[in-house]
Amino acid sequence: MNNPEASAALDGTTALPRKGWFKRLVAQEDLNFLLTNRVPRIALTKAMGRFSRIESPLLTKLTIKVWRWFIPLDLSEAKHTEFRSLKDCFTRELKPGSRVFDARPDVFASPSDAIVGAIGIVERGQVYQAKGFPYATEELFGPTQDASAFEGGHFVTLRLTSAMYHRFHAPADGTVEHVTYLSGDTWNVNPVALKRVERLFCRNERAVVRMTLASGHAIALVPVAAILVACIRLHFLDVLLHLGRKGANEMPCSAPHAKGQEMGWFEHGSTIIVFVPKGFELAEGIATGAQIRAGQALLKLVDAS
């Protein structure tokens, strides 16, 4: 049975479930942080990766049933509702037409379904993961990437929960020109952890995807993995990005994308941080806490120069 209140508890929000001692305990921030962070995170993540690939329809059905006891998983939009493995469910495709991308050329669409987290302006190379918790774009992007192009521009944090559609798409017409993969930790990225772990996004496994839009603007998408996220898949690279790839892995490429074209997926919930240079403004309705869908207007180009 779907249980939105239990989902809110596991995601670190303040709503309490109406019944169930275990769910009430998990709803408490201290215990939530303990259960999702003070554990062998990388070992659990690797184990989850192996488990999610076990091809057993019966085991998969049972696991999904247990999962739904905690999370309001909605498969009504899924292209298929029978899955060989848990990974197949995590990375499910949707029925054609389920996500329509805003076709206006001045609109930068959301690359994924998400809950909007921290948003703001990049100032002196600094952004925020939560109130009072700044981090440096230079550290997030890694030692080989120059983040100065985004000084004065917007950043938008998009959090994908475990129940959401996990694929992400090109936010506008353009060409992906470089990917830097940085291995790291697997802290939870829910609001509870973001309020307690400094520079969390800079610690976690992530990829820096640099893209030049048809408008000529250089943008960056930074998918950040988290606990139980086994890997990040980018379709335009013939490689699976996972915890075994240590260091800064540089992957130059030239991969044209049309707006809405699928770019890749997470194998669980996680985060994408969007960076754009000056000349963009937030689209109407984009604010911290808003729940949005892939294809919805996220930013709008106001300065074509």
Catalytic residue among 113, 166, 257, 268: 113
The yes-or-no answer on residue 146 being catalytic is no
Retrieve residue 20's tokens.
Answer: 């169930």
- Of the residues 166, 169, 217, 242, only one is catalytic, namely 169
d(CA 173, CA 301): 13
Q: Among candidates 280, 22, 43, 270, which has minimal Cα distance to 160?
A: 270
Degrees (nearest 5) of the Cα angle 205, 189, 81?
90
Confirm whether 52 is a catalytic residue: no
The residues, ordered by sequence, that sit 6+ positions from 223 with a Cβ below 8 Å of its Cβ are 168, 206, 207, 209, 232, 264, 266, 270, 271, 272
Q: Where do runs of H (alpha helix) occur along the chain?
A: 4-10, 21-27, 29-37, 41-52, 57-70, 86-90, 137-141, 191-194, 200-203
User: Residues 7, 52, 183, 270: which is the catalytic one?
Assistant: 270
Q: Which two tokens stand for residue 266?
A: 């997470």
Note the Cα 63 to chain centre separation in Å.
23
Contact 263, 104 (CB under 8 A): no
238 labelled catalytic: no
Q: Residues 149, 277: contact at Cβ < 8 Å?
A: yes
Catalytic residues: 113, 169, 270
